[in-house]
Chain A
Amino acid sequence: GAGVSQSPRYKVAKRGQDVALRCDPISGHVSLFWYQQALGQGPEFLTYFQNEAQLDKSGLPSDRFFAERPEGSVSTLKIQRTQQEDSAVYLCASSLVPGTTDTQYFGPGTRLTVL
């Protein structure tokens, strides 16, 4: 399909392991966003890319979280030394152009469980 895809859909990690979550945005979309959604809560902003440039990473909760989008399309969110509090659904969204009126389209998310 033509939507945003994310992989894996589910990930179980032991505390202390590193994980990598992948996002494939809609083709041609310039903007890419990562969100963290805790159980029973709304999504919370993590970071934003415009093409390959990471313009805002103010929402990343610690230096264990790292995101990249080296070629301006696929993005990877990496979490090092996972902790139980990292358990959440990680959502990726993309939009066609940067702008306050543009609509974000979301992927299905990756549910991360840290044991």
Chain B
Amino acid sequence: AQSVAQPEDQVNVAEGNPLTVKCTYSVSGNPYLFWYVQYPNRGLQFLLKYITGDNLVKGSYGFEAEFNKSQTSFHLKKPSALVSDSALYFCAVRDGINKFYFGSGTKLNVKP
């Protein structure tokens, strides 16, 4: 079965510094990987996805993610964090046409 793991419950970073939110995956077949962000009392918002092609995927709000097949990782990154980036981030892998498996989430705290 497909699965993703987010090893950090929380990441703290100072505004202006680079941020990384980690995700590792386990799939049989081609990995279709996604990142979503969730703000309080709101649904999940799509950030970016990896389907095939370049290992560096660019997404919304200046975020990008690096796909690494040998390490089975799909870490989310941003060169310069903003306080407004503080939220809950979820990594997900798609299984077939009808299921997403989500990680447990990582809370990002960006301090001014």
* Residues of A in contact with B, size category: 20 to 34
Q: Mark B85-109, 1 if CB is under 8 A from A, else 0.
A: 0000010101011111111110000
Q: Please tell me if A105 contacts chain B, counting CB pairs below 8 Å.
A: yes
Q: Please tell me if B14 contacts chain A, counting CB pairs below 8 Å.
A: no
Interface residue from A56, A59, A99, A103 paired with B46 (Cβ < 8 Å): A103
Q: Please tell me if A44 contacts chain B, counting CB pairs below 8 Å.
A: yes
Task: Please tell me if the beta carbons of B43 and A98 are within 8 angstroms of each other in the complex.
Answer: no
Q: Mark A78-89, 1 if CB is under 8 A from B, else 0.
A: 000000000000
Task: Please tell me if the beta carbons of B43 and A42 are within 8 angstroms of each other in the complex.
Answer: no
CB nearest to A98 among chain B residues: B97
CB nearest to B49 among chain A residues: A103
The answer to whether A101 and B51 touch (CB under 8 A), given A91-B44, A107-B43, is yes
Q: Footprint of B on A, CB under 8 Å?
A: 4, 6, 31, 33, 35, 40-45, 48, 50, 55-56, 59, 91, 93, 98-101, 103-109
Q: Footprint of A on B, CB under 8 Å?
A: 30, 32, 34, 36, 41-46, 49, 51, 90, 92, 94, 96-105
